[in-house]
Amino acid sequence: MLPEFLLPETTVREAGAGPEIGLGGESGGVLLLTLGITRIIEQECLDLSIWGSSDGSDWGSKPLISFPQKFYCGTYQMVLDLSDYREVKYLRAQWQVNRWGKGDSKPLFTIYLFVKELQTEIAAVGAA
């Protein structure tokens, strides 16, 4: 099922959660997460976390992994090892946003989150 967008390019102005995706055969694998921030305004921050579920409805009380707080446009990557979370069959992204300073108090980010199995990436490099 992977690779795919865990969150297609989306403009966010408030806290929220993306759609869930099923892991299929990648359950218990190692995943490469790529967060892209393509639009931002000054004096704001983004907190993005990845949550897991075994049934698609109970997301637990804490995330599997969280990106460090972001303030700038860019592309950021993290590895998510699901070997300790073999029960996880679904993933989704959740975010919090904050803005301070002068002007409009509403944050503005355009972001995307891409996920792929890391073993696929390693195999492709080895074949090259």
Instruction: State the residue range of the domain holding 93.
Output: 4-127
Joined tokens for residue 110: 């355009």
Question: With 80 as the cut, is the pLDDT of residue 7 above it?
Answer: yes
Backbone phi, then psi, for 118, in 5-degree steps? Answer: -70, -35
Of 10-24, 84-98, 110-124, the least confident: 110-124
Rounded mean pLDDT of the chain?
Answer: 91
**Stated pTM of the model:** 0.88
Which of the four pLDDT bands, split at 50, 70 and 90, describes residue 123?
A: very low
CATH code for the domain in which residue 99 is found: 2.60.120.380
DSSP 8-state symbol, 26: G
Q: At CA 60, angle to CA 59 and CA 66, rounded to 5?
A: 85
Could you report the per-residue pLDDT of 38-52, keeping only the tens digit for each? 999 999 999 999 999
DSSP state of 89: -
Between CA 102 and CA 28 the distance in angstroms is 45
Determine the average pLDDT of the residues in 109-123.
Answer: 82
Pinpoint the alpha helices (H) of 10-117: none
Structure tokens at 52: 């897991």
Q: What is the pLDDT of residue 28?
A: 83
The predicted pLDDT at position 72 comes to 96
Q: Residue 33 has what pLDDT?
A: 97
Cβ-based neighbour number of residue 28 at 10 Å: 15
At position 32, the amino acid (one-letter code) is L
DSSP 24: G
What phi and psi values does residue 26 have, to the nearest 5 degrees? -85, 5
Count of structural domains within the chain: 1
Q: What is the pLDDT of residue 27?
A: 77
Residue 125 has pLDDT above 70, yes or no: no
